[in-house]
Each structure stands twice: as structure tokens, then as C-alpha cells.
Structure 1
Amino acid sequence: MSDRELRPLRSIRITGDGRCLFRSVAYGACLRRGKQSPSDSVQKELADELRSKVADEFVRRRGDTEWFLEGDFESYVRQMRKPHVWGGEPELLMCSHVLRMPITVYMYTKGSDSPRIIAEYGQEYGKDNPICVLYDGYGHYDALQPSLERNTDNRRLRYLRLFSRTVSRSSAT
């Protein structure tokens, strides 16, 4: 198991309205950029904007993408532009290109207490701090973010290190 599989992640429930993949990725992109968690209405707006850009990206990359899409290319892209049509692996790949960010997909597997990485997209944009989403295996995606507990522990450790350095310097004088 890699460290990336072991890091504590917290699942954020995303509305299942046909936009869940795009909502989850948009949520993760906000966090990755240091912004606050988007509200449900902002998620919807960002998801629809991302969906539109993803459809445009399919068109831009038609020569590279047409062969792995099911059915007629124009019909596929036209369907994908509709707000309640589910997205999957092709859309995750295009999301990584649109956002120029890596995306890691996790899923709980049989006999596992924590989710495992099942797919990674956009590795050419880096491997650190990817947007993380959780796939339930039945068509729904939720957002994942680093556990707040771990962040609090890390802040506490940094504070203790800083405090101990300050105390050490004070007692040396």
C-alpha cells in the first residue's frame, strides 16, 4: 500500500442529481486552490460550468477521444452537455485536462476498511495534492478531502515544534 492510499480522507456527501461527478471534482478543485468548501448551489453552478468545458474539451481532443466513447461522437457530446447526464471515466480524464490538475478516484473494495485508489487521471499535471473523489460502484461520486483530524494534529505538531524552539532559545539566553 502506498502512502497516498493510507492518508486519512473524509467523505463529503454530494447531491445525486446527475451532476455528482462534476460536483465532486469542482468541490475538490476549490479545496485544492485553497478556497472554502462550495455550498450546494455554488457546487451546481461550478459543476455545470465544468461540464460545459469538458464537452468542449472532447471536441478539441476529438482525434484522441472519439475511439473510446460509446456510440456516435456528436451524439455523445450533445448528451454530455445535458445537466442530468451521468459522467464517468472519459469525463474524469477531460476534467483533469480542463482543470490541469490530477484527479484520483477511490472506491471501497470488498474486505477493506478504507477506500483504495482505482484510477488516476491527469498525472502529467503533477502527482501531489490531487483532487480526490469516491466512487460508490453504482454510478455515484462523492468528494474526498483530507481528514480535519489529521490537519488539526499537523497544526498541533507544528505549534509544539515552534513552541519548543522558542522555549529552547529563551532558556539558552
Structure 2
Amino acid sequence: IPGDGSCLFRAVVQGSCLLKGMLTPSESLQKKLADELRDKVVDELIKRRKDTEWYLKDKFDRYICQMRKSYVWGGEPELLMASHVLKMPITVYMLEKKSSNLKIIAEYGQEYGTQNSICVLYHGYGHYDALKSNP
């Protein structure tokens, strides 16, 4: 996944496609789908404002305005909202340096089930990649 500010959205889109047995989208389609997911995620943040506003680092309206830009990094709030938009669980993994094993660092959307989770890998410095299957 390119590190273009949309890596979280691209990773979720790619993970969703892989989970559904679809081919990995082309670069241009992946970007289009990621931009569409970003818009839906921001709309979901607005819809759930009362539940989300308190944990955002910035003023809500400023945060929303920034998140609409395709080069702005997403994080935990966007992963949570993506699980609601897609109505699918999302599991975030990180590589343990000492053991080189993957460990779960966050799970979102568990109300949509615990099977068939979209799996993404967080590198710890603001970058996400898709994982092909549940590790």
C-alpha cells in the first residue's frame, strides 16, 4: 500500500476485497474506492458526532474538514467508523520486533461478528498495509 496519506483507507478497501474473494483492485480503482470509503467514514463521524467528538484531538469541525482531504492520515476514529460503514469487524495487527510474530493491537466493529475480519497491519509510524488472511 503506498504511503500517500490514504494508506489506512486503501488497506481497509484491499482487505475487504480479499476477504470477499475478489482480486486486489488496480492502483487507480484502489484509490477511487479508498476515497469513497474516506467520504463515508467522515459522514459516519458526523452522524455519530455525540459519540465521537470527545475523543478527537482537534475541534470537531476542523477535524472533519481535514479528514476530507485525501492526503490526511487516518487512525483509530477512522478504523472504528470504517467498521460501521462496512458493517464488518476490522482487526489491526502489529509486528513484535523481538519475536517477529503478529499481535492484535486493536479490534473494531466486533458487534458485526468476530469471524471474517478485515485484517490490517500497522507499522507503528503512521502506515497501514492489508493482510491477506487472518494470521
TM-score range, shorter chain: over 0.9
Runs of 4+ in 1 over 2 A off after TM superposition: none
Instruction: Return the letter of the residue paired with 2:122.
Output: Y
Between the aligned partners of 2:100 and 2:43, the Cα distance in structure 1 is 38
User: Among 138, 143, 162, which residue is 2:125 paired with?
Assistant: 138
Instruction: Return the letter of the residue paired with 1:84.
Output: Y
User: Among 45, 48, 59, which residue is 1:58 paired with?
Assistant: 45
The aligned counterpart of 1:28 is 15
* Unaligned runs of at least 5 residues, structure 1: 1-13, 148-173
The aligned counterpart of 1:4 is none
Instruction: Return the letter of the residue paired with 1:52.
Output: D
User: Among 90, 99, 104, which residue is 1:103 paired with?
Assistant: 90
User: Among 15, 25, 30, which residue is 1:38 paired with?
Assistant: 25
Rg larger in structure: 1
The aligned counterpart of 1:90 is 77
Counterpart mapping for 1:89-168 below 5 A: 89-146=76-133
Residue by residue over 1:39-76, the C-alpha shift from the partner in whole angstroms, topping out at 9 and shown as x without a partner, is 11111001000000000000000010000111210000
Secondary structure of 1:145's counterpart equals coil
The alpha-carbon deviation at position 114 of structure 1 amounts to 1.9
In the comparison of the two structures, how many residue pairs are matched?
134
TM-score by length of 1: 0.75
The aligned counterpart of 1:70 is 57
Between the aligned partners of 1:112 and 1:129, the Cα distance in structure 2 is 26
Secondary structure of 1:93's counterpart equals helix
Instruction: Return the letter of the residue paired with 2:132.
Output: Q
Q: CA RMSD in A?
A: 1.1
Check conservation: 2:10, 2:31, Cα contact below 8 A: yes
Between the aligned partners of 2:119 and 2:62, the Cα distance in structure 1 is 29
Q: Aligned pair 1:81/2:68, yes or no?
A: yes
Quote the sequence identity (%): 66
Check conservation: 2:119, 2:133, Cα contact below 8 A: no
